[in-house]
Amino acid sequence: MFSSSLSTSLPPKPYLSHPLSPSLHQPPFPHSRPPFPPSIRCGIRELRERIDIVKNTHKITEAMKLVAAARVRRAQEAVLNGRPFAETLVEVLHDINCRLRDDDVIVPLTDVRPVNSVALVVVTGDRGLCGGFNNAVLKKAEARIQQLHKLGLNCVVISVGKKGNAFFSRKGSVRVDRFVECGSFPTVKEAQIIADDVYSLFVTEEVDKVEIVYTKFVSLVKFDPVIQTLLPLTAKGEVRDVNGNCIDAIDDEYFRLTTKEGKLAVERDVAVREFATPPIMEFEQDPVQILDAMLPLYLNSQILRGLQESLASELAARMAAMSNATDNAVELKKNLSVAYNRERQAKITGEILEIVAGAEALIPVD
Amino acid sequence: MTLNLCVLTPNRIVWDSEVKEIILSTNSGQIGVLPNHAPIATAVDIGILRIRLNDQWVTMALMGGFARIGNNKITILVNDAEKSSDIDPEEAQQTLEIAEANLSKAEGKRQLIEANLSLRRARTRVEAINMLSQ
């Protein structure tokens, strides 16, 4: 006697079936539509196991969401800490640029020459479970590489982050100069390694243009991959290749020698340090030498800022993904519980009916 | 009259307080800065920065950058700065040896440039510790 005749006559879905259960249930009706909400057909024991699994998963995703939220805050603070450096640097650079505007200054890092080869620094994350974050960056980098190949330019990649490293080592069609892996937090040391690499590539004329592909952190829910030109450092202007065609990507951000406003929407305080510019500033060395010393600093701080913003975006993406996963887990648990209770009640009702029927059968017929 | 010294790196403020005197390594040699120094701007080489606070000297290893000396206000912007008290002597020595090995292995202009830079940095760190023990 099947107790399942009391429940609604729907067959178990194939992926839910316990290996032994097909013999216990009725033959499937392949064309019946499930009622709304779709009901889950499974044995009681399997349902109980599934509920436990979903409960555990829920705990994990919730914990990951909280951890990501805490780390986003730290990442934001790191970006803010880098602000005094960037502001002072820009101030002084601007000052020197004004004085040197009339002179003919040749500094290697501002050398605009016809482009044969481009280096691309691609910043990805180390771990997964962050929604479409890594994929978005890699797709953008991929598109850019195709674009450059179509223009007949060589391309070299410096990959930062385990996910990017795995992608490019599998790919093989693009030459990778160096794989860099940051720890949990990008520090000046990693930025220095990348900056050294980029610097030597540019100065030895192996490449003529360096771009960085990173994720710009606009707000906690909005972050987009962007391409920014690192070298050559020009105040404005486009970089052209041998044929005079402009090879900048569309929506490329130019390397601007201006201060940026607070880019993180959460905190918008612009702390202005009182710095009285002395009217007469003597240069201890040649202005060219001083510029030579400062531009690598600017390069470093730009790279570090790219890394930090990417990290903040990755954490925000992970937070959103884990939040969705937690909500899904709650809903799934609810559905499973409803199905479990239904099965349980059906079983109990079946047993009661058996007992009552049996008792009835024992009453002597008068 | 005391000098106000500010040492900034791209990710944090390393030093921000008043000092009596500093000795800075620049591309054109070492310069000492006392209160009421004339305003100058100078490039800073990979080297040691010594700070005097009340007859006590603090050493810091700087990894190249820029310094701006104003009206009793010094701003030093460097790629990286480490106080000698924060440097682990053994680790610094090991890094120096690795850098030397890399330099002898380096081939080609690019690798030479990189190897030279890391050697100079490692050497500065070791010097900072040695100077502290003097």
Domain spans of chain B, in order of start: 3-83, 89-131
Q: Look at residue A270 in the predicted model and tell me its pLDDT.
A: 36
Among A86, A96, A283, beta carbon nearest to B40: A283
As a whole number of angstroms, the distance between CA A226 and CA A243 comes to 26
As a whole number of angstroms, the distance between CA A169 and CA A309 comes to 24
Q: Most B CBs within 10 Å: which of A91, A188, A304, as the mutation test of the B interface? A: A188
Q: Look at residue B63 in the predicted model and tell me its pLDDT.
A: 86
Chain A hits for B24, CB-CB cut-off 8 Å, are none
Domains B3-83 and B89-131 share a fold: no
CB A114 within 8 A of CB A240: yes
- Is a pLDDT exceeding 50 seen at residue A288? yes
Contacts of A37 (CB under 8 A, 6+ apart): A335
Decide if domain B3-83 falls under CATH 2.60.15.10.
yes
Nearest to A96 by CA among A258, A275, A234, A287: A287
Chain B hits for A276, CB-CB cut-off 8 Å, are 70-71, 73
Q: What is the mean pLDDT of residues A288-314?
A: 84
**CATH number of this structure's domain B89-131, picked from the four choices 1.10.260, 1.20.1440, 1.10.287, 1.10.10:** 1.10.287
Q: What is the mean pLDDT of residues A348-355?
A: 95
pTM: 0.74
Q: Does B98 touch chain A (CB under 8 A)?
A: no
As a whole number of angstroms, the distance between CA A206 and CA A258 comes to 29
Chain B hits for A199, CB-CB cut-off 8 Å, are 113
Q: Look at residue A280 in the predicted model and tell me its pLDDT.
A: 55
Q: A199: distance to nearest CA of chain B, Å?
A: 9
- Strands B73-78 and B3-9, by their bridges, are parallel
Stretch among A285-294, A295-304, B17-26 having the lowest mean pLDDT = A285-294
As a whole number of angstroms, the distance between CA A206 and CA A154 comes to 10
> Which residue's structure tokens are 């914990």?
A63
As a whole number of angstroms, the distance between CA A286 and CA A292 comes to 10
Q: Does B66 touch chain A (CB under 8 A)?
A: yes
Q: Most A CBs within 10 Å: which of B5, B9, B16, as the mutation test of the A interface? A: B9
Interval A35-68: pLDDT, tens: 555 666 668 999 999 999 999 999 999 999 999 9
Residue A149 identity (one-letter amino acid): H
Sheet holding A117-123, edge to edge: A175-180, A154-160, A117-123, A209-219, A222-231, A252-253
The pLDDT-based confidence of A33 (bands split at 50, 70, 90) is: low
Q: Look at residue A20 in the predicted model and tell me its pLDDT.
A: 46
Angle, vertex CA A124, rays to CA A119 and CA A126, nearest 5: 135
- Strands A222-231 and A252-253, by their bridges, are parallel
Q: Which residue has the higher pLDDT, B130 or A258?
A: B130
Interval A97-132: pLDDT, tens: 666 665 666 666 677 778 888 999 999 998 888 888
Q: A163: distance to nearest CA of chain B, Å?
A: 25
Homologous superfamily of the A54-271+289-324 domain (CATH):
ATP synthase, F1 complex, gamma subunit (3.40.1380.10)
- Domain residue spans of chain A: 54-271+289-324
Q: Does A275 touch chain B (CB under 8 A)?
A: yes
Among B39, B75, B79, beta carbon nearest to A88: B75
Q: B65: distance to nearest CA of chain A, Å?
A: 6
* Mean model confidence pLDDT for chain A: 76
For chain A, the residue count is: 366
A260's tokens: 């940026």
As a whole number of angstroms, the distance between CA B28 and CA B39 comes to 17
Helix (H/G/I), strand (E/B), else coil: A238: coil
As a whole number of angstroms, the distance between CA A12 and CA A299 comes to 61
Q: Look at residue A181 in the predicted model and tell me its pLDDT.
A: 78
